[in-house]
A = this chain, B = another copy of it.
Amino acid sequence: MKGLTQKQVLPLAQVYGVLEPGPVVLVTTARAGRANIMTLTWHTMMEFEPPLVGCVISAQNDSFDLLRETGECVLNVPTVELIEQVVGCGNTTGRKVNKFRRFGLTPMPASKVQAPLIAECYANLECRVVERRLVTKYNFFVLEVVQAWIDPRQKRPKTLHHQGEGIFQVTGRRLKRPSPKTSLLAE
């Protein structure tokens, strides 16, 4: 019963709220019928709408080649319940392993890109590469989120925040403060 059938469209103007806290994400890529999953922590929002996301994907990774060649991926945001899959996808290579099968994750068709969504993740952001100037020197891609999905049942998802060396911080309590802007804190 899991998956997209229970997901709703997330308005693009609300995408930043998913990524701005800095959660670990699972990046899916695909080419010629083969899909891969990579664990990613080095990402940042770059614009609200259309939502732009910058991310570093090491050139040593299978996902780097897939992303560079197809220009498409999906950023899937897992909750803490998926920690074993997050670690597993980060510690194996898609050149040798079908990670969906190995880690019990369910690929589902995206609406605007070839890469699949991961059904078990609470949010899924379909992306296209829109900026490559920093790819050669920094492995840094700028992505535009072209379609976004969310599981409306997960009101307060607990996300994973990687500190390095296998240590994850899990989001706990929430605090609310007055904000005169709906946007990025600044000044």
Task: Give A residues with C-beta under 8 Å from B.
Answer: 16-17, 20-24, 36, 38-47, 52, 54-58, 60-63, 80, 83-84, 86-87, 89-94, 131, 133-134, 137-138, 140, 142, 159-187
Contacts and interface: CB of A to CB of B under 8 A. Distances in A.
Contact of A170 (B62, B92, B171): B171
**Which 5 A-B pairs rank lowest in CB-CB distance, beginning with the nearest?**
A22-B22, A172-B172, A90-B185, A166-B179, A21-B161
A46 to B, nearest CB: 5
B178 A87 contact: yes
Q: Which residue, of A22, A90, A161, has the highest number of chain B Cβ atoms within 10 A?
A: A22
B187 A20 contact: no
B179 A165 contact: yes
Given A169-B174, A175-B80, A58 B138 contact: no
A168 B38 CA distance: 27
Identify whether the interface residues of A are mostly helix, strand, loop, or mixed: mixed
Contacts of A162: 20-21, 185
A10 to B, nearest CB: 13
A44 B23 contact: no
A183 B90 CA distance: 10
A187 B92 contact: yes
Contacts of A140: 46, 54
Contact of A131 (B58, B62, B134, B142): B134
Contact of A55 (B44, B58, B86): B44
A50 to B, nearest CB: 13
Contacts of A183: 164
Given A171-B171, A178-B87, A22 B161 contact: yes
B169 A21 contact: yes
Given A16-B164, A142-B138, A42 B177 contact: no
